[in-house]
Chains A and B, each alone.
Chain A
Amino acid sequence: MNREEKYDIVIVGGGPNGTTAAAYLAKCGMSVCVLEERPEAGGSIENVEVIPGVRIDPHATYMYAGAAPGFDQLELWKYGFRMDWRQEKLDKMLAAMMATGKIHLCLTTEGMAKPTEKDTLNWMKLTGMDPSAPFTRELLRAIYWCPPHPPEVEVTAENIPYMQVYKRHQPDVWTEELLEMTLFELMDEYVESEPVKMLHAMVSWYSGASPEWEGVAIPALGGECLLGYTFSNPPRGGMHDYFHAIIRCAIAHGAVIRTCCPVDEIIISNGRAAGVRLRETAAQGEKTIWADKAVLSGVDVKQTFLKLIGRRHLDASFIQRIKDISLKASSIYVSHFLFKGRPRYRARFALEGTDMIPGQGVYPCDSREIYYEHLADINGRKGPPSMPVEKVMWIDCGSKLEIPDACTIPGHYLISPLYVIVPPPEYLVGGPEAIDKQKAKWDAYMREALGQVLETDNIVAQWSNTPWESEHRNVGLIGGGWYATRHCRDQWAENRPNRLLPELARYRTPIDGLYLCNQSSCHPGGLALMAIPYNLMHILIEDGLVEPGDWWYPSPWYIPQQGKISAKPR
């Protein structure tokens, strides 16, 4: 058997970013090889039929990527991509809101919150969802689908892409202060009801950025907009089938994608990334795969440098800074519940005059005090969560309800997933497995938490995974972190993966021919947006590695780096 192979580009990790990059590069005519450790590619975009007839998405649940240029650049429709538009559910939801004035997503200890007109109108103004002046897609593309500006460009309120969008479409929203604000401050200005603010805050937090983080008000808002853009509808067949369209696009353009092929080392030769060496347990044994042009690491930033490259090629200062990247704030304990018979709201949440099935919402949205308490509990101390169950904040995506093929057992309903943010494994007293060792207890905690809003007597099955399990299931999810590392200002845009690592800011690395392509290392982080590969394309074009065809268009806000080839078509 051939122990060596050669491609233009070798990509480590067949998750969403690695595979999307493969699709882009293969479409440019490059020979590409993707190496994935698990038996199935897809990383965190996966489906599992936990018992016959019940399909869950263990990680990525929602289609956040709606505004991605990738849909038309990669022509995903050709590879079978479809959505599960649940118009009926949306209609019911809207009808219930109109009839009761209550917003069923926004759950407080008292019941459902009633948004004011100002709450709704101003939110639409901020997010560009106002039908008279829509600019959501442009706003989202500005936040996510544009590489950070090159180092010689000073980042200002004038040239930040999303600021340009506001200036154009909502000039009265544009202020210099917008750049310094927290999402809470922004909402205090635009939204009236505290519960509605909390709803936005929580959705933003679970989508990557906390509402009290300085200077990321708009990126935090963006997380929720990404969901709103496709009305929280999932892809047909679940998130993994969105991935299927991407991987099939890559394969159709000639990319080789191998599973059961863990990479042990990125080979550095004369300061250049020259290829990778597979682990001896790989399906075809230890093998060297050479990369003529570049190696892309779709693996998280810590393992990329600390494990795959190793100390001998890096200096101590760099290693320390890599180690210091914060993992906190995105480790999630997640449960999926099977109900026999329709899930029922507890009495105080009754929605008179509608036949809506509950399941989807944020609780408790009473006030930000609970949120701060929760945050202090999981981010500021060592130990497992200690919030009393009545107050634990959760998001119930309920996204599987009314999707016909997610639960096909007659008379059964799936509420899936229910998220609670917990400390990362390394923060647990009693070792990283502390939560896992008491899983039955935490499962009960999750049930009870959901039980604040729903009757739980008809739950017949529950599946959960802990951050520790997430980390093992999905090698790239270090610390069980869902969007890898926090999307705070120090780790956002040109500061990603971290303000102290400017040499990694634009997907390049100190090692020639090695590029980063993972949510933890690259702007704009997680959520399976096809954004990192799109942004990375600009950089690879700048470096003269690829020349895409007519199908390519760069971000309108992109600024080429001096002395490099521009990614704008000539």
Chain B
Amino acid sequence: MVIERREIFQEFPGESDWDVVIIGAGPNGLMAGAYLAKAGLRVALVERRYEIGGGLVTEEILFPCYSSNAHVIYHMMVDYMPVLRDFNLDRHALVWIKPNAQTAMVFENGESLVLAQMLEDTKDSIRKHSIRDSIAFGKVMRTWERVVSDIVAPATYVPPASPLDLTLALQRSEIGREMLEITERSPLEIITDTFENERVRTIMLYTSCMWGLDPRETGIGFFVPLLLVRGMNKCYCYGGSHKFAGALAREIVQAGGTILDAAEVTGILTENGRAAGVQTAEGRLLRSKVVVSSLDPKITFLELVGAQNLPEVLKESTEGWKYDKWSFNTLHIVTDEPQRYACDDPWVDESFMTVFGFENTERLLAHWDNVISGRIDLDNFGGHATCESFFDPFLCRMPGKYVSFFQMHAPYDIEGGWEVRGEELKEAMLAKWQRAAPNLKRESIVKSVCETPVDIERRLNMRRGSIKHGDYNPTQLGYFRPNTECSGSRTPIEGLYLCGASMYPGGLVLGGNGYLAANKVAEDLGAAMWWKPTPEMERYVKTYFD
């Protein structure tokens, strides 16, 4: 009773040849793949999970019937990403929603703040707390918006310049000099110097540092304008973030590219010091001229290439790679109605993101300090929440139900371990959320599930729950991300390129890493670059580097 497999049907071959093999079909792998496949190269993406998308994951984690954006939901760079201009993703019904009410914060006494897309709306909200701060906000935004639109945003899609070159370049304009000045300072200094009111400072600090910046770290100040300005321009991907991945995958396949799911890469092949392909867990071999890895440097270099095959300098710098300083613990729920927050502004309920649990900067800083040292103080924590199906009815298959989540910063190595502390923390989060939104009654919760930092690691292969594949600090940012040799995508191993969040410009689905990698690979393989830089990028390069 033995059936010869070959007689049944043909399968993807055990050995195959490609121009480019990309490890990981997350946002960056997909973007790199889309550009390169359309450039006529024979491209294969190799994905560990059964589904593409990486962090662009919209899945039925509240099974059955309720889907959730299990990871990325806030898309901050939609207005700038070249990929959204170079491809007609409309064709795949990709639609972005950008609510005006972007980030709200509610306080114990029912007061609130809303940061909106529209400047004057934000000022109205700030004015309730401090007239001076609302004026300061209007004023500072004139500069910060330009810092972002003229420099930081376009620079996201241009290879990093060395600190010296960048400093010289930015000297050329007033906005550039402003940016250099801001960069010198820490987020906490910038915010404390700019705003006087504690509540205003709290929301600004949360918005600037929530993705993993050390508020007291100097040399990263430019993130404050970037994350505040872009934090007020977040977009939601209608149908869930995974639709973005699906649209990119369609472009790849349409252009003749291949995607292998459920194919974990176990090794990057090197021949005579050159990357020559990858090996998968099931024993398949994909040979290629070029390998592009979207994984973090420790996995790419130490595990897949192998420490013994690395030049000493690269080995050392990779071993020194630091993962994110904190991760997330996320409570997903299904309820009968969206949350209504106990506060003075009905607009909060329409906000894309609502922050609660922090009354002032001192409490916020104490919470982050705790998290960094592996603790969570149940009497002092908070986070941000979104009712996803308020914006997207497609997530719920049962009528009249809503999916929402509450996300808090949390350490990967929590005191006591997640298996023990998880349930307790889930209860505490629920209680905290209920206090902020009293209509969130226990009996109205149809279903709930918590995803811990360990879960992030398990689902998305983000080591230690590092949502950005590695910490944001001056030695791991810009030209130094992940190190000076690799921040431009090429690596000291010929034929091996990086395209993931651990490379310049970083994590959070910026749309830069995969794009930059595609540029380098196309250039090195002599492929036709069918795309052009965006006008913003051209202006930036012309102004500062011509």
Contact = CB atoms under 8 A, between A and B. Distances in A.
A429 interface: no
A272 interface: no
B262 A39 contact: no
Given A49-B59, A231-B3, A259 B239 contact: yes
Contacts of A229: 3, 8
Contacts of B49: 49
A72 B253 contact: no
Q: Which of B5, B8, B243 has the most CB of A within 10 A?
A: B8
Contacts of A281: 393
Interface string A456-477: 0000000111000110110000
A237 interface: yes
A259 B246 contact: yes
Given A39-B243, A260-B238, A473 B65 contact: yes
A39 B242 contact: yes
Contacts of B254: 251-252, 254
Given A80-B12, A240-B51, A260-B93, A51 B261 contact: no
B362 interface: no
A124 B261 CA distance: 35
Contacts of A52: 451, 454-456, 458-459
A473 B246 CA distance: 20
B250 interface: yes
Interface of A: 1, 38-40, 47-53, 55-56, 58, 66-68, 71-72, 75-83, 85, 94, 124, 129, 131, 229-231, 236-238, 240-241, 244, 248, 251-252, 254, 256-261, 281-284, 404-405, 408-409, 463-465, 469-470, 472-473
B464 to A, nearest CB: 14
Contact of A284 (B95, B240, B282): B95
B240 A39 contact: yes
Given A53-B459, A244-B259, A248-B253, A66 B8 contact: yes
Given A39-B240, A85-B5, A238 B258 contact: no
Interface stretch (B308-316, B394-402, B506-514, B537-545): B394-402
A80 B398 contact: no
Interface residues of B, number: 58
Contact of A77 (B10, B263, B449, B456): B10
B92 A256 contact: yes
A71 B12 CA distance: 11
B10 A71 contact: yes
B261 A244 contact: yes
Interface in B320-349: none
Contacts of B454: 52
Contacts of A408: 458
Interface string B226-252: 000000000000111011001000100
B458 A53 contact: yes
A259 B243 contact: yes
Contacts of B125: none
A236 B11 CA distance: 10
A473 B397 contact: yes
A463 B282 CA distance: 29
Q: Which A-B residue pairs are the 5 nearest by beta carbons?
A: A237-B262, A71-B9, A52-B459, A52-B458, A260-B239
Interface in B355-410: 393-395, 397-398
Contacts of B258: 78-80, 248
Contacts of B64: 58, 463-465, 469-470, 473
Interface of B: 1-3, 5, 8-13, 49-51, 58-61, 63-65, 67, 90-95, 238-240, 242-243, 246, 250, 253-254, 256, 258-264, 281-282, 393-395, 397-398, 449, 451, 454-456, 458-459
A236 B262 contact: yes
A229 B10 CA distance: 15
B185 to A, nearest CB: 39
A355 B342 CA distance: 59
A169 B468 CA distance: 62
A261 B93 contact: yes
Contact of B50 (A40, A55, A470): A55
A547 B259 CA distance: 29
A231 B5 CA distance: 11
Nearest to A79: B258
Contacts of A76: 9
Given A78-B12, A94-B1, A252-B253, 8 more contacts: A39-B395, A49-B61, A76-B9, A80-B12, A80-B263, A241-B50, A256-B92, A259-B239
A131 B1 contact: yes
B60 A48 contact: yes
A283 B455 contact: no
B262 A405 contact: yes
Given A52-B451, A231-B3, A240 B50 contact: yes
A48 B250 contact: no
A259 B51 contact: no
A73 to B, nearest CB: 11
Contact of B65 (A53, A68, A241, A469): A469
Contacts of B92: 256-258
A77 to B, nearest CB: 4
Contacts of A465: 63-65
Nearest to A47: B50
Nearest to A85: B5
Contacts of A50: 60-61, 63
A49 B62 CA distance: 10
Contacts of B94: 283
Given A230-B8, A409-B458, A48 B63 contact: yes
A68 B1 CA distance: 21
Nearest to A75: B10
Contact of B449 (A38, A51, A237, A257): A51
A77 B12 CA distance: 4
Contacts of B458: 52-53, 408-409
27 contacts: A38-B397, A48-B61, A49-B51, A49-B59, A51-B449, A52-B451, A52-B455, A52-B459, A58-B63, A66-B9, A67-B8, A71-B10, A75-B10, A82-B11, A129-B1, A237-B50, A248-B259, A251-B254, A254-B254, A256-B92, A259-B246, A284-B95, A463-B63, A465-B63, A465-B64, A473-B60, A473-B64
A39 B58 contact: yes
B483 to A, nearest CB: 30
Contacts of A80: 12, 258-261, 263
A51 B250 contact: no
Contacts of A131: 1-2
A289 B50 CA distance: 32
Contacts of B93: 258-261, 282-284
A49 B459 contact: yes
Contacts of A252: 253-254, 256
A82 B264 CA distance: 14
Contacts of B243: 39, 259-260, 283
Contacts of A254: 254
Nearest to A36: B93
B237 to A, nearest CB: 10
A129 B1 CA distance: 7
A67 B93 CA distance: 35
A465 B60 CA distance: 12
A76 B282 CA distance: 18
Contacts of B240: 39
B282 A82 contact: yes
A356 B502 CA distance: 43
B381 to A, nearest CB: 22
B442 to A, nearest CB: 16
A238 B262 contact: yes
A163 B262 CA distance: 41
A119 to B, nearest CB: 14
Contacts of B65: 465, 469, 472-473
B256 A82 contact: no
A34 to B, nearest CB: 11
B67 to A, nearest CB: 7
A15 to B, nearest CB: 15
